[in-house]
Amino acid sequence: MPNRISHRNAFANVRIFSASFAVLLITASLVFAHQPVSADKYSREDQHALETYSLSGDNLIKVTPAAKALQKLEASDPSVSAILLHVSGETLDQTFKRIDANSKLAAALHVSGLSTKEYWMTSATATMAYITTQMLTNGMAQSTMDSMFPWKASADQITFVKAHQTEIDQMMAIKKP
């Protein structure tokens, strides 16, 4: 199959920097393994919120220090990784409230000046736009990605990611412990 994406290439290009992106990593793995649609489910309202979220340069710059603080917290307490994940069937607001209920996790996120919602939405939508951009570059059809991912990155999000490649590369360079 021409334009086939290898696991090695995909994971080299898509380094997930916090547990909040584990769902995206799993989804991308399913795409590369040619398996069916993602098991993560979002309500139509949450899908719309993710697809229309406006990325900002200010929030993007703040994500990196928050991700580094989370990295330190995860190194000392691996159980926090699961708290950052979206639970299928849970609304985004429920996810944010659950994350904020953990005082250590909330403090690590808020160190950068972002709310939990701003951190999660910026990180998630920027990562989805980055993954989409990489897959389109490697020849995957948009219609294939639409059926595989839990939501679709918007054209504005993709344009933003392309315009802020340096900041996105810094964000993606943060490795999990």
Nearest to 91 by CA among 52, 66, 127, 117: 117
pTM to 2 decimals?
A: 0.74
Nearest to 176 by CA among 92, 98, 80, 53: 80
**Arithmetic mean of pLDDT over the chain:** 78
pLDDT digits (tens, 9 = 90+) for 43-94: 999 999 999 999 999 999 999 899 999 989 988 988 888 888 888 889 999 9
Confidence tier at 171 by pLDDT (50, 70, 90): confident
pLDDT surpassing 60 at residue 30? no
Place of tokens 């380094």: 15
Where would I find the H helices in 44-115? 44-52, 57-76, 80-84, 92-100, 103-110
Q: How many CB atoms lie within 10 A of CB 102?
A: 17
- Look at residue 100 in the predicted model and tell me its pLDDT: 94
pLDDT digits (tens, 9 = 90+) for 99-110: 999 999 999 999
Residue 119 dihedral angles phi and psi, to the nearest 5°? -65, -55
Residues listed for the chain = 177
Out of 26-30, 79-83, 119-123, least confident range: 26-30
Nearest to 13 by CA among 1, 27, 25: 25
- Look at residue 147 in the predicted model and tell me its pLDDT: 79
Residue-range domain boundaries for the chain: 7-33+43-49+57-83+91-173
Confidence tier at 175 by pLDDT (50, 70, 90): low
